[in-house]
Structure 1
Amino acid sequence: MSVTEQNSEELVLSPTTPHCTDGAKVEIITSRAVPLGGPRAMTVRRTLPQRQRSLIGAWCFVDHYGPDDVSVTGGMDVAPHPHTGLQTVSWLFEGTITHHDSGDHHAVVRPGEVNLMTAGAGICHSEVTTQATTTLHGVQLWTVLPDAHRHGPRRFDHHAPEPVLLDGARALVFLGSLLGYTSPVPTFSPLVGAELRLEAGASISIDVGPTFEHGLLVDAGDVDLEDVTVAPSELAYTGIGEERLRIRNNGSTEARMLLIGGEPFEEEIIMWWNFIGRTYEEIEQYRQEWQDEDERFGVTEGYIGRDPAGLSRLPAPALPHASIRPRKNPAPIARPDERI
């Protein structure tokens, strides 16, 4: 997925020093609405990045969307656009999307199956709702590639995890290890990602690594994490030092959520539009190379947009005139009073 705002925000993220925590504290990160596309833009609910917190482990971007009636919103139609220094993680609850990228990877993104695209030094790709889709519902996430791997090759990985069945709960672990299941999908820093479903009135206690910070994104249900209510589309953050997370569904219908986490990312990075780099000069270079159709990004074959008169590739927005000011990610400790 592309960041399509014309006034893309610059983010400079600085390393933090881990601290131990006493007890299970929960910080709520609320979403902001962001339109993707033109007049019938599909609106997503973005919880990362925010001024409140920009990273959870190497997770740097979380867009939650739907359920959208495609006949009304037009669905997803993102023309070829570039990425550097990151991995995109696509996870659907309903509907299907076609993916084409300049690494010559072509796939259909389906519910319950993870599709992970590694940009490395540069890639471009497109995402379009399939014609058979009537309702689109899912989450798009990014992870930052560490400096040692961000200049690597393009790649694409797909995995359909086996469900982990628990008393009153079901989990699909698509990245990392959780609940005795390990995903084979490669990552370049310690990460975890899983879909969790809780039956009405059910609760679950999950053992987690104390070196990880975690985020729980609620898609649907009357959910609390450590007795703190988490509304749909909110992201509940817990810092390092926790060994167990307790989640409860207080409602009369099934609850669904995503759990993400990882070890605090300790490299300073800059995020702007669809690029992640280390210096502003790199971002300027990436933007110019995309505009010049440089071979860094290659060419996406197979894109067929829903609008015959639409763009064949997305142009980069103009760089801001203001100088970049460092934005430090808070220490990996939950701040219960920081709800924004």
Structure 2
Amino acid sequence: MSNVETRPEQVVCTAGGLPGPNCDQQGRSPVEIITSREVPLGGPRAMTVRRTLPQRQRSLIGPWCFVDHYGPADVSVTGGMDVAPHPHTGLQTVSWLFDGAIQHIDSGGNAGLVLPGEVNLMTAGAGICHSEVSTEETTTLHGVQLWLALPDATRHQPEREFEHFEPEPVSLDGGEMLVFLGRLGEGSSPVRTHTPLVGAEIRLDPGAVIDLPVDPRFEHGLLVDSGDIALENVELPVASIGYTGIGVEELRIANRGDEPGRLILIGGEPFPEDIVMWWNFVGRTHEEIAQFREEWQAEGDRFGAVDGYVGKGGPGKNADGMGRLPAPRLPDVTIKARKNPPPQVQGGPAE
């Protein structure tokens, strides 16, 4: 998925807020709540997504640097997803659906359907471009789009990779989980990543409480899609992320409601490098980002081309008549590297 904001925010990270004094945290790990903001996904009938990462409060959780959560959206009202060819550098895109289907085509010669319960991971490396269009048969679109920052050692690779995996459900006492990246409990994924991390969908029965063993080297974020969810006895609003820092060996997750709950757990070792992230590019300096933008605008070889894109406006065009997304104007100030807070829950109000 593209970041289609015409004025992408350059984020400066400050300390996040702790939950209020009414939650019983005795004997449990502290939790930082990261709320979402709504962002239109392009066009006059834009589908709205809820973005939790990046933001001022916290820019990364492990290598996870972008979290969009959308739906359930009625395609007859929103028009669905129609993201014309757009570029990426220095990252991996992780597509995970709950409902609907999306046609993916990229400049590495890969094409395929993103379907519920099946992860699709695209590695940009030095440069790639792709398109994403919800299928004609899709009536409801619901899922998450996630990005992983690549370390400097592999972010320049020329290969444009695409991997697909359908994880088997792993039973929990009160639910189940689908581990689509990394390893968690009895679940594991063969999909290649470039830093230690985990990604999983967790489904909780009404009234269920689980104590989930996790890697203490990782910081974790729990995104709530549905349910009356509490993490470490802290209530989490729908579409928010509950964050826990390193050193935690077990997460207590409860669904206190009468309806099933669904969550996305992300985590990983703290990312050791400062990144510059603007629009759809992840780099290390302002000058590098400016070069990426210039090459995309010039239709240079770095990104290649998408062959076969059919948007809502017909072959090769989206609903606005565009065959590719133009890059926004660069800000008039130098884009600085993101300084993420330490990998522990931050105290005090968010600034």
- Normalization by structure 1: what TM-score? 0.95
Q: Distance in 1 between matches of 2:179 and 2:251?
A: 16
Q: CA RMSD in A?
A: 1.5
Q: Distance in 2 between matches of 1:160 and 1:91?
A: 10
Residue 309 of structure 2 corresponds to which residue in structure 1?
Answer: 303
Q: Distance in 1 between matches of 2:321 and 2:153?
A: 38
Residue 160 of structure 1 corresponds to which residue in structure 2?
Answer: 166
Residue 172 of structure 1 corresponds to which residue in structure 2?
Answer: 178
Match of 1:316 among 306, 324, 327: 327
Deviation, 1:131, is 0.2
The 8 Å contact of residues 275 and 337 in structure 2, kept in 1 or not, is answered as no
Stretches of structure 1 that go unaligned for 5 or more consecutive residues are: 15-21
Residue 140 of structure 1 corresponds to which residue in structure 2?
Answer: 145
Deviation, 1:26, is 0.2
Is the counterpart of residue 10 in structure 1 residue 15 in structure 2?
no
Residue 52 of structure 1 corresponds to which residue in structure 2?
Answer: 57
Stretches of structure 2 that go unaligned for 5 or more consecutive residues are: 15-26, 315-319
Q: Distance in 1 between matches of 2:293 and 2:83?
A: 18
Q: Distance in 1 between matches of 2:338 and 2:282?
A: 14
Task: Output aligned runs, 1:21-36, within 5 Å.
Answer: 24-36=29-41
AA matched with 1:145: L
The 8 Å contact of residues 27 and 339 in structure 1, kept in 2 or not, is answered as no
The 8 Å contact of residues 90 and 125 in structure 2, kept in 1 or not, is answered as yes
The 8 Å contact of residues 28 and 338 in structure 1, kept in 2 or not, is answered as no
Secondary structure of residue in 1 paired with 2:311: coil
Q: Distance in 2 between matches of 1:217 and 1:12?
A: 22
Deviation, 1:149, is 0.3
Residue 195 of structure 1 corresponds to which residue in structure 2?
Answer: 201
Residue 17 of structure 1 corresponds to which residue in structure 2?
Answer: none
Secondary structure of residue in 2 paired with 1:271: strand
Deviations 1:40-94, CA, capped at 9 Å, x for gaps: 0111000000100000000000000000000000010000000000000000000
Q: Which moved more, 1:59-68 or 1:319-328?
A: 319-328
Is the counterpart of residue 331 in structure 1 residue 337 in structure 2?
no
Secondary structure of residue in 2 paired with 1:328: coil
Deviation, 1:10, is 2.7
The 8 Å contact of residues 13 and 326 in structure 1, kept in 2 or not, is answered as no
Deviations 1:92-117, CA, capped at 9 Å, x for gaps: 00000000000000010000000000
Match of 1:285 among 284, 287, 291: 291
Residue 121 of structure 2 corresponds to which residue in structure 1?
Answer: 116
The 8 Å contact of residues 287 and 316 in structure 1, kept in 2 or not, is answered as yes
Does 1 or 2 have the higher relative contact order (CA < 8 Å, sep 6+)? 1
Distance 1:271 1:12, change over 3 A: farther
The 8 Å contact of residues 12 and 269 in structure 1, kept in 2 or not, is answered as no
Match of 1:78 among 83, 99, 102: 83
Q: Distance in 2 between matches of 1:298 and 1:11?
A: 29
The 8 Å contact of residues 95 and 114 in structure 2, kept in 1 or not, is answered as yes
Q: Distance in 1 between matches of 2:78 and 2:323?
A: 20
Q: Distance in 1 between matches of 2:91 and 2:335?
A: 20
Task: Output aligned runs, 1:138-287, within 5 Å.
Answer: 138-152=143-157, 153-287=159-293
Q: Which moved more, 1:290-299 or 1:325-334?
A: 325-334
The 8 Å contact of residues 52 and 338 in structure 1, kept in 2 or not, is answered as no
Q: Distance in 2 between matches of 1:327 and 1:182?
A: 31
Deviation, 1:307, is 2.1
The 8 Å contact of residues 102 and 123 in structure 1, kept in 2 or not, is answered as yes
Deviations 1:236-291, CA, capped at 9 Å, x for gaps: 00000000000000000100000000000010110000000111111010000000
The 8 Å contact of residues 30 and 339 in structure 1, kept in 2 or not, is answered as no
Deviations 1:206-241, CA, capped at 9 Å, x for gaps: 111111000000000000000000111000000000
Q: Distance in 1 between matches of 2:347 and 2:254?
A: 19
Q: Distance in 2 between matches of 1:287 and 1:12?
A: 21
The 8 Å contact of residues 277 and 337 in structure 2, kept in 1 or not, is answered as no
Secondary structure of residue in 1 paired with 2:259: coil
Match of 1:61 among 66, 70, 74: 66
Deviation, 1:168, is 1.3
The 8 Å contact of residues 204 and 246 in structure 1, kept in 2 or not, is answered as yes
Q: Which moved more, 1:323-332 or 1:202-211?
A: 323-332
Residue 48 of structure 2 corresponds to which residue in structure 1?
Answer: 43
- Normalization by structure 2: what TM-score? 0.92
Secondary structure of residue in 1 paired with 2:288: helix
Q: Figure out how many residues of one structure are paired with residues of the other and give that number.
A: 333
AA matched with 1:117: M
Q: Which moved more, 1:1-10 or 1:302-311?
A: 302-311
Secondary structure of residue in 2 paired with 1:80: strand
